Structure 1
Amino acid sequence: MTFRNLLLACLLLLATSQGFAQTTDSTATDTARINRRKLLPIVASEAAFYVAGMSYLQFVWYKDHERVPFHFYNDARGYQQVDKFGHAFGAYVESYMGYRLLRNAGVPKGKALLYGGTLGLVLQTPIEVWDGLYEGWGFSAPDMVANAAGSALVIGQELLFDEQVARYKFSFSPSPYYKQANGYLGDSHLESLFLDYNAHTYWLSVPINKLAFKSTIPDWASVAVGYSAGGMFGEFSNRTYYRGTYLPETERYRQYLFSLDVDWTRIKTDNKLLNTLLKGMFFIKLPFPALEVNSKGQVKGHWLYY
């Protein structure tokens, strides 16, 4: 499920934050020597994170679920595919961090893409395998495709453009359904971050000067296209009753969005702390006015969408 991917991505960012904050946008040359003082802490942090994550799954997440023979679960239609965008996003963030950290340590590009660019897929695959071994879950091939797509987005752009032209970003705002759900979408705003897919929006953000071929436009100024959905009180269809309360009847629909954005990593300042902060915000979509077209046939304008 998406919230485990988001949680893993956030924890990985925290676990490697010191090394990731020191990365630069300049590409290390393949002839540069590997900096072992940088590389060893990176490898140790990611190995510890991986062991901790797998231990959490085995001893905490699945502890109340019965072990069953390996089986599959087709959730391709679940949550209007917002869940799949979330899987791709988690893998993208993890792969991007893995690649940039290794490049900053002087690892040649090919090896950095092999060991770092695939990190998202490597971290997410055991989750799907574990799901296939426990009752109430199941190995999801669509989730695996989404995980692979997130890592492929990092690797493909580095091979084609030697940079991340399109940034995969996330924005969250408590949905109007949260208060109507009587806890089904979370008992707090923090829980709703992981449980309320109505509140998730996933974006592809591209600098305007890359599209217009005009270098006079600041390279941090971007446009973004986004995807979200609404009206969801369940994975495939809406629940009608929860915790002794009838849930409202709603129409499930998809949202397609167009907005402006800022590529934080392309903003340069003389302040080291601020530069570190900006680099760490590479996956965050800045609130901006947005145009929405949805599957209900509506066209809406938002003064500020986040």
Structure 2
Amino acid sequence: MSRTCPNHSRRPIVLSALFLFFCFSRTQAQNVASFAYAPKRSTHQQYVFSGFSRSLLVSKPAGLPVTPAAPGIYYLKQDTIAFHQDPAATPAPLKHSFSPQRLAFVSAMMAATNWIAYHQLNDAWWQEKRGKFHFYKGYRRTRGFYDLAPGDSYCYHLDKGGHFLSAIFFTESLTSIYQWVGFSESRAETISAIVASALLLEVEIYDGFFQDWGFSLGDFAANELGVLWVLAQRRVPALQSVRLKISYDPFAPVEDDSWIKSYNAMTFWASFPVRSWLPAAAQKIWPGWLNLAFGYSTDRLRHGRLETYLAFDVNGEALIKSRALHLLPLRLLLNYVHLPLPALQLKPALRFSPLHF
């Protein structure tokens, strides 16, 4: 839903603070996961292998001491050793236990961030005339299908793409955060879905008390669909490799010095790993990190023409397979942002762009 903002300078600060908090938390979550699945090494360069029997240890150099530490566990005093692994005896991933201290820390940070965001947005957005709670019908105010019909938006509902992608980012980030706290993956997903929905619903409820806006069912639906998309991706294999992204054209006209309201500068993308769909011979040529993406945008600030695109895209998960912590910001960037790459405009006219933002 579009709105007039008397002070746009504070909004990037709030969004940046939220982004940095979630990036830090996801870094910590990945840090725990990387150590939980790594082999344990002592100060004497000893490795612990569990689930292997004596008969499966082969090519043992002469004189290599093998000391049983417990049934089925051996300390091998050498950095490398050749062995055959029994598939049925694959060691289970180590689980980190629930931490009340981490839960308290995360809860405090979430409460503080929510409080700061509310007061910043209150100064920047919620300064117009208030009234009774009501629903937003559309940009024409007096008529419309509650911001759900195509004619209720002057920008082809591109703002809903922002709501959808924000919900995805919040839900995925919160899932990593609650796994860092110590919840199981399924429970972390459930908690993150509830918390993300509540945080986004809070903004919509506040909007409902302002005369010029109102509670937008379209925004609410986009928020919930973003949350459900994350849950569906983790359960439907066909969706797991699809990434939804955004790109922003820094050279596009800006409305009222507000980059976040300039929907003509935004393009929302669905990125697909086409290599897996190609014949075996073509898969040898097509890079695994190169996706194809379908995008949509508009060519004017208001009441423009719908634009659709077909473009190349970078698959961050395939390009950066390392889980090194210093690469996490780059992986997050590639997972949520479509980089400027060649694109073919399909609508309103067929046109090739050597570099589309």
TM, length-normalised to structure 1: 0.77
**Among candidates 72, 82, 103, match of residue 158 of structure 2:** 82
Letter in 2 for 1:174: P
- Tell me the CA shift for residue 30 of structure 1: 10
The equivalent of 1:253 in structure 2 is 305
The equivalent of 1:65 in structure 2 is 128
- Tell me the CA shift for residue 66 of structure 1: 2.4
The equivalent of 1:170 in structure 2 is 246
The equivalent of 2:43 in structure 1 is none
The equivalent of 1:16 in structure 2 is 22
Q: Structure with the greater relative contact order (CA < 8 A, sep ≥ 6): 1 or 2?
A: 1
The equivalent of 1:280 in structure 2 is 332
The equivalent of 2:40 in structure 1 is none
Unaligned runs of 5+ in 1: 179-184, 238-251
Describe the SS at the equivalent of 2:260.
helix
Q: Distance in 2 between matches of 1:107 and 1:212?
A: 39
Q: Distance in 1 between matches of 2:195 and 2:296?
A: 25
| CA 303–89 in structure 1, closer or farther in 2 if over 3 Å, else same | same
| CA 108–218 in structure 1, closer or farther in 2 if over 3 Å, else same | farther
Mean Cα deviation higher: 151-160 or 101-110: 101-110
- Tell me the CA shift for residue 51 of structure 1: 2.3
**Among candidates 226, 230, 235, match of residue 299 of structure 2:** 230
| CA 165–131 in structure 1, closer or farther in 2 if over 3 Å, else same | same
Unaligned runs of 5+ in 2: 6-10, 38-92, 139-146
Letter in 1 for 2:352: G
| CA 115–19 in structure 1, closer or farther in 2 if over 3 Å, else same | same
Q: Could you say what the CA RMSD is over the residues aligned between the two structures, in angstroms?
A: 3.2
- Tell me the CA shift for residue 271 of structure 1: 5.8
1:52 is the counterpart of 2:116? yes
Q: Distance in 2 between matches of 1:43 and 1:104?
A: 13
Q: Distance in 2 between matches of 1:122 and 1:134?
A: 20
Alignment of 1:115-264 (within 5 A): 115-161=191-237, 164-174=240-250, 176-178=252-254, 185-187=255-257, 191=258, 193-212=259-278, 219-233=288-302, 237=303, 252-264=304-316
| CA 155–270 in structure 1, closer or farther in 2 if over 3 Å, else same | closer
| CA 218–44 in structure 1, closer or farther in 2 if over 3 Å, else same | farther
| CA 286–59 in structure 1, closer or farther in 2 if over 3 Å, else same | closer
Letter in 2 for 1:268: K
Letter in 2 for 1:203: W
8 A contact 2:343–2:356 mirrored in 1: yes
| CA 199–265 in structure 1, closer or farther in 2 if over 3 Å, else same | same
Letter in 2 for 1:261: D
Q: Distance in 2 between matches of 1:51 and 1:135?
A: 24
Q: Distance in 2 between matches of 1:270 and 1:126?
A: 34
Instruction: Give the paired residue count.
Output: 274
Identity %: 24
8 A contact 1:16–1:45 mirrored in 2: no
The equivalent of 1:245 in structure 2 is none
- Tell me the CA shift for residue 33 of structure 1: 2.3
- Tell me the CA shift for residue 218 of structure 1: 5.1
8 A contact 2:25–2:176 mirrored in 1: no
TM, length-normalised to structure 2: 0.67
Letter in 2 for 1:254: L
Letter in 2 for 1:205: S
| CA 256–154 in structure 1, closer or farther in 2 if over 3 Å, else same | same
Q: Distance in 2 between matches of 1:32 and 1:88?
A: 32
Bigger radius of gyration, 1 or 2?
A: 2
Letter in 1 for 2:353: H
- Tell me the CA shift for residue 199 of structure 1: 0.2
